[in-house]
């Protein structure tokens, strides 16, 4: 069984209380354009590597490929290439809507207007209409979208990729390989201890009936990780002067799942520094690996948050996050040495848009902490 939390900010006014969505799959949706299908069919070198990663991700259930009406239109002239058959095999019949709805029509209009206004010297091509139809639907529905370099440029000019959290990949070799990597789990710290812990977490989560049960099940392994002094290299325990958290606080990614449904990271807080008041928008476990911290927990009251509890944490202590309960907090290092906490959370915490809260008013603002060592996609 799998559960998910919100992956994108839905508006500050409505965010404090609506943190956990009902159970749904967070499977990535992938739109493969004609060029990618053709590259895979012809087994070009970079595409061969992509295909292997794609088939593994499909088998794991972390990605789903989608068909669109445009694929049929574009494949008509060359049925001998067998691209529709390949697409059907990859998609299992999953389809995007056949017709452009009002939102997709508006997107199409914006893309066409951008070409006309900003790229007037470009000569129109016969395939433009199909490309615009395809992209107008794909950027709305898909997390990963392949297209040619021209369409990627046009979409980026409109910033619709950012608005809809659609990651774009052109047919350039570097992008094909970037998509290959994007479909794989990311072990920034690739060691047997981290791999073993993530495997155990996934097994525990898969067998659990609820997030609370899942957290309970992984407690012994998490306690073991916090007690083991040797698995976390020094570089992941360093403060970061220019961090998104401020105060020299470093958030170091150690692992994140390809579908961004799970991450493991360290949070390094120098002596005397405190994080902003913030939420996580995900359930999971947080525990102290080094130093001591005070944690202040906040609760929502009429659109703002107020402190409700304070607790002290020493090495090896950990707590369960089950939003919306106790999801908003602030931590401060109380030891003379830097504190390091380990987070296992069910989103890509550093890259999702979540919230910080003003210290005086308790009101939320959009917040993305980022990671010190890994970039966010969009
Ligand atoms: Fe936190």
Report CA(282)–ligand 1 centroid distance (Å).
10
Report CA(256)–ligand 1 centroid distance (Å).
17
Report CA(279)–ligand 1 centroid distance (Å).
6
Report CA(201)–ligand 1 centroid distance (Å).
20
pLDDT tens string 189-233: 999 999 999 999 999 999 999 999 999 999 999 999 999 999 999
Token couple for 337: 């040495």
Report CA(330)–ligand 1 centroid distance (Å).
7
What angle, 0 to 180 degrees and rounded to 10, lies between the N-to-C axes of helices 34-41 and 83-91?
Answer: 100
Q: 187-367 maps to which CATH number? A: 2.60.120.10
Give backbone dihedrals phi and psi of 169, rounded to 5 degrees, phi first: -135, 120
Report CA(22)–ligand 1 centroid distance (Å).
22
Report CA(343)–ligand 1 centroid distance (Å).
8
Query: Is 364 in contact with 356 (CB distance < 8 Å)?
Result: yes
Q: Judging by DSSP bridges, how do beta strands 328-333 and 318-321 pair with one another?
A: unpaired
Any idea where the domains of the chain sit in the sequence?
32-184, 187-367
pLDDT tens string 340-368: 999 999 999 999 999 999 999 999 999 99
CATH domain 32-184 topology: Rossmann fold (3.40.50)
Which band of pLDDT confidence, cut at 50, 70 and 90, is reported for residue 59? very high
Report CA(280)–ligand 1 centroid distance (Å).
6
So what's the pLDDT on residue 25? 54
pLDDT tens string 71-107: 998 888 888 889 999 999 999 999 999 888 999 999 9
Residue with tokens 């659109």: 303
Residue 309 has pLDDT above 70, yes or no: yes
In this structure, which long-range contacts are made by residues 230-236, counting pairs with CB atoms below 8 Å and at least 24 apart in sequence? 231/191, 231/193, 231/194, 232/189, 232/266, 232/289, 232/340, 232/342, 233/189, 236/189, 236/266, 236/268, 236/373
> Which ranges constitute the DSSP H helices of the chain?
34-41, 45-60, 69-75, 83-91, 102-118, 128-141, 149-158, 160-163, 173-182, 192-207, 211-227
DSSP state of 95: B
Report CA(377)–ligand 1 centroid distance (Å).
21
253 vs 240: CA distance, rounded Å: 13
% of the chain at pLDDT higher than 90: 79
**What pTM was computed for the model?**
0.80
> Looking only at Cα atoms, what is the longest distance across the chain?
71
Report CA(329)–ligand 1 centroid distance (Å).
6
Residue with tokens 């965010």: 15
Report CA(28)–ligand 1 centroid distance (Å).
26
């Amino acid at each position: 069984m799998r559960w998910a939390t919100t992956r994108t900010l839905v508006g500050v006014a409505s965010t404090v209380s609506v943190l956990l969505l009902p159970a749904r799959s967070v499977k990535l949706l992938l739109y493969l354009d004609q060029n990618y299908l053709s590259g895979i069919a012809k087994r070009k070198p970079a595409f061969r590597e992509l295909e292997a990663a794609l088939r593994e991700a499909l088998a794991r259930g972390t990605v789903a490929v989608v068909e669109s009406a445009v694929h049929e239109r574009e494949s008509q002239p060359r049925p001998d290439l067998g691209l529709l058959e390949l697409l059907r095999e990859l998609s299992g019949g999953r389809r995007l809507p056949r017709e452009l709805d009002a939102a997709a029509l508006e997107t199409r209009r914006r893309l066409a207007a951008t070409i006309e206004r900003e790229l007037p010297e470009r000569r129109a091509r016969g395939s433009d209409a199909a490309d615009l139809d395809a992209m107008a639907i794909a950027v709305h529905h898909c997390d990963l979208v392949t297209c040619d370099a021209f369409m990627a440029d046009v979409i980026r000019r409109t910033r619709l990729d950012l608005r809809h959290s659609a990651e774009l990949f052109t047919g350039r070799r570097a992008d094909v390989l970037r998509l290959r990597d994007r479909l794989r789990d990311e072990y920034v710290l690739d060691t047997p201890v981290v791999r073993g812990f993530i495997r155990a977490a996934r097994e525990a989560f898969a067998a659990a009936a609820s997030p609370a049960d899942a957290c309970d099940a992984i407690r012994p392994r998490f306690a073991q990780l916090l007690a083991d002094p040797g698995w976390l290299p020094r570089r992941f325990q360093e403060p970061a002067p220019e961090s998104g958290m401020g105060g020299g606080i470093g958030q170091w990614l150690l692992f994140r799942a390809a579908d961004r449904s799970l991450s493991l990271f360290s949070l390094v807080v120098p002596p005397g520094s405190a994080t902003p008041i913030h939420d996580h928008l995900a359930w999971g476990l947080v525990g102290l690996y080094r130093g001591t911290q005070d944690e202040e927990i906040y609760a929502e009251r009429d659109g703002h948050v107020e402190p409700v509890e304070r607790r002290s944490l020493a090495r090896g202590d950990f707590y369960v996050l089950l939003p919306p309960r106790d999801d908003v907090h602030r931590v401060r290092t109380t030891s003379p040495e830097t504190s390091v906490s380990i987070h296992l959370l069910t989103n890509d915490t550093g890259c999702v848009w979540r919230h910080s809260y003003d210290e005086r008013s308790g009101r939320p603002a959009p917040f993305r902490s980022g990671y010190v060592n890994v970039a966010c996609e969009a």
